[in-house]
Every structure is written in structure tokens, then in C-alpha cells.
Amino acid sequence: MGLIVQKYGGTSVANLERIKNVAKRVLDTQKAGNQVVVVVSAMAGETDRLIGLALEISKLPELREYDALISSGEQVSSALLALAINSLGGKAHSLLAHQVPIWAEGGFKDARIKKIETKNIRRLLNQGYIVVVAGFQAIDEEGNIHTLGRGGSDTTAVALAAALKADLCEIYTDVDGVYTTDPNICPSARKIERISYEEIMEMASLGAKVLHIRSVELANRYGVKLVVRSSFNNLPGTIVERGDKEMEQITVSGVAYDKNECKITISRVPDRPGVAAQIFKPLSEENIVVDMIVQNVSEQGYTDLTFTVRKEDMNRAKKIAQQVAKKLRAGEVKIDPNISKVSIVGLGMRTASGIASKMFETLAKAGINIQMISTSEIKISCVIEDKYTELAVRELHSAFGLEKKPKKAKAKRKKK
């Protein structure tokens, strides 16, 4: 009964059979009385194929051409979906970024959406069309195509929902929703019915599989109600929206893990002001994202400094750390790629106490040594040896009772 933006990921449009299935879903949504805008990703594998071509032809592809190349996958899928809808008797109209237009800001390959003009889409919706928008792309004033980074079609969908003041933004993917943890390593993982933007952002390592983090930030900023659902069944999915009292009754919402980081330690760093900047500035200048930072006092006047970076940045980060260590006359640089980060996430942690100690206790009981700890308002992360990842996730999931539906919250709700 309103305006719904639906986004279908690459697996949902992986072949013609699935595209036809999507066309049926879209038409059903329209028949239920809604205006529908659909955002599509490229057919599964297509973007990777195009990136492969670019890298084969040029080790360092010029980004403007790279974007022109890899954005073609969404042109194909959006036209095919429009054809599929039309062949089922519907009225669909595909739009590329320059036809909407969707304006980009920032460079190529990882641009942001600056503005979406809604006039063309509104006109088409009012004429009864289903509007199919190619995801992942935007244009600048010269008409150059910019892409929005991997998973950027989610961002297209949320930005469209915000610009059109849509009632709902449905993100269709190949999983049923957001789970309390990875069901592949923890069979008692449970689908979450409702989760807050903040929580899903902190659960990046889980969330990234179903939602592009930047799109969640955008949804948070504009209050776009998201639903993460599967396009292969009719299960209700997970609602992502602003946190409320009810959600905060649940202290821990999920257990996340990340095996893609590595640990770098610089020993015997002189303990004086400005040293941290000397280490982390050259890293940020090289676009290396540092996640956790821990500083331990080891002996008088010296400290050991440990931090984590993405595994793909390991060699570059090591080189920089060694240069800085030499300059600071610090000790050796040690690299450990065999780590993983396990986190518990929950809005309720803001007010609850004892959560951290319960986490540490749980890991200790399982014989897992904690190498680093980092906390935020709604997340506690521990770095452990990576071979214990699955064990840690299962023990924490069980310790915080995540396999059970949050009954307390419902009970408390009735009291209100």
C-alpha cells in the first residue's frame, strides 16, 4: 500500500530462471497495491569476470575505464529483469544511473551517492511502471560512470528509498536474514527478527555477508526501514531499524567473528608523546585501515605496541612498521597472521554490567587465551588464536543464550 524499494543481489539474478522468479515477486508486490522500484546487482560472477578482464589487460587499470567496464553487468541484469517483467504482462522500465540520474561524489571505484533526482522515477511510477534501476553505479557532471564499491547495489537501494521516502527497503539475498552468528559453524544460530542499525554495523563480519555496511549507515542516517530476506522462499526475514526499548532488553544480540585480520607488534617502542602518530600516520597515508590498537608497558621508558590490519595489507603494513621501528630505534617487528577476532554485539550492553567478564570467563573455561581486547559501547572484541574461532563462537553463543528466542523482551513489553 505504499512505495517499496526492492534490491536483488547477484545470486537472486544469477540466471534467467531466477530472473523470472524475481519478476514474479516484483509483480506480486505491485499487485498487492504498492509502487515498486527494483534495484539489481549484476548476475552472480559477472562483476568478478569483468574485474578479471581489467586486471588481465592492465596491472593497474585506470579507474575511470575500470568503472565504465564493471558497471556494464548491472546494465545487463536491469534490462533482463525489465524484459522478464514485461513478458509476464507487467509494465517495467529500466534506468541506468545517467537516466535517473544518480549523481556521484568522490573518486572512481568507490564513489558515494551525492544526490538522486526522483522526477523521472516518480513520473514512471505514476504511469504504473515498475522501475528497475541498475545498482552499483552513479555519474558525475561530465557523465562519467562511477561505481560504489563492492556491494554498492545495497547503497543504491537505500539511497533510492531515502530519496523517494519509501515505506520499506527490502534487500533480497540468498540467506533468510541476519543470524545470531554464522550458522555454518554454530548449528544453534537463530535468525534475528529485529535488529538495530548500530548492531548490524558492529556485526560487520556477519552483516557484510548480507548487507553492505555503507548502506546501513545511510539507512541509519535517513531512518530507512530495511528488511533482509531471501529471494528463494517466503520467510519473513530480519527487520533492520532504529533501536528501541524492546531491543535494549536483549543484552547480546549476536556473536561475530573475523578471520581476515593479522596482528603486528613493534617491541621496545620509546614511550614518549607523538610516537603513536609516527607509527599510524604513514599507515593511514597508505590507505591501510588499522582496526584494534593495544599498548602494553613492558619496561621502563619502553612499550610494546600491537595493532591489527587486514591480511591483504599485511606486507605493506609490515614494511612501514619496520621503517618506523628503525627510525624510532625500537625493537623488532613481529607479524602474526594466525589470529581471529571474536566479538559479541548488543544494544543492551550500553547499560548492562558483567557482560565483558562473562565473555572472558567463557573463553577461559574453553581454554582459549585472549591476546587483545577492545571494547565499544555495544561491542566487545577479543583477538584469539585463529584455530579456536569456531569453538569460541559456539561457546559464546551458548553462554549468552542466543539460541533461545528473546522471551524476556516480549514479557517486559507487555508490562509497558
Of the two residues 20 and 310, which places its CB atom closer to a second copy in the complex?
20
Closest CA to 372 of 265, 280, 251: 265
- Give the C-alpha separation, 166 to 226, whole Å: 10
Helix (H) or strand (E) holding 264: strand 261-270
Residue 80 interacting with a second copy (CB under 8 A): yes
Candidate residues 27, 29, 34, 66; the one interacting with a second copy per rule CB under 8 A: 66
Task: Tell me if 111 contacts a second copy by CB under 8 A.
Answer: no
102 binds a second copy (CB under 8 A): no
Of 21, 48, 51, 75, the one binding a second copy by CB under 8 A: 75
Answer yes or no whether residue 163 interacts with a second copy by CB under 8 A: no
Number of residues that bind a second copy (CB under 8 A): 40
Q: How far is CA 415 from CA 78, 246, 412, in A?
A: 48, 11, 5
Whichever of 54 and 293 has its CB closer to a second copy, that residue is 54
Residue 96 lies near a second copy (rule: CB under 8 A): yes
335, 262 Cβ separation under 8 angstroms: yes
Q: Candidates 98, 122, 259, 310: give the one binding a second copy (CB under 8 A).
A: 98
Sheet holding 339-345, edge to edge: 254-258, 339-345, 379-385, 372-376
The CB density around residue 126, as the number of other CB atoms within 10 Å, is: 9
> From the list 53, 297, 364, 411, which residue makes contact with a second copy (rule: CB under 8 A)?
53
237 contacts: CB under 8 Å, gap ≥ 6: 170, 176, 177, 227, 228, 229, 230
Question: Are the beta carbons of 11 and 31 closer than 8 angstroms?
Answer: no
Q: Which is nearer to a second copy, 70 or 266 (CB)?
A: 70
Q: Which is nearer to a second copy, 99 or 267 (CB)?
A: 99
Q: How far is CA 242 from CA 178, 194, 220, 255, in A?
A: 16, 10, 7, 20
Nearer to a second copy, 97 or 317 (CB): 97
Q: What is the DSSP letter of 181?
A: S
Q: Give min distance, CB of 16 to a second copy, in A.
A: 5
Per CB under 8 A, which of residues 376..415 are in contact with a second copy? none
Identity of the amino acid at 166: A
Which of these segments, 85-93, 110-118, 228-236, 372-380, binds a second copy (CB under 8 A)? Answer: 85-93
65 is an interface residue for a second copy by CB under 8 A? yes
Instruction: Locate 73 and state its grid cell.
Output: 553487468
Assess contact for 179 and 192: CB atoms under 8 A.
yes
φ and ψ at 57, to 5 degrees?
-85, -20
CB of 48 to a second copy, least distance (A): 14
The C-alpha R_g of the chain, in whole angstroms, comes to 23
**Smallest gap, in angstroms, from Cβ of residue 302 to a second copy?**
48
> For binding to a second copy (CB under 8 A), which residues are involved?
16, 19-20, 50, 53-54, 56-62, 64-66, 68-69, 71-72, 75-76, 78-80, 82-84, 86-87, 92-94, 96, 98-99, 142-145
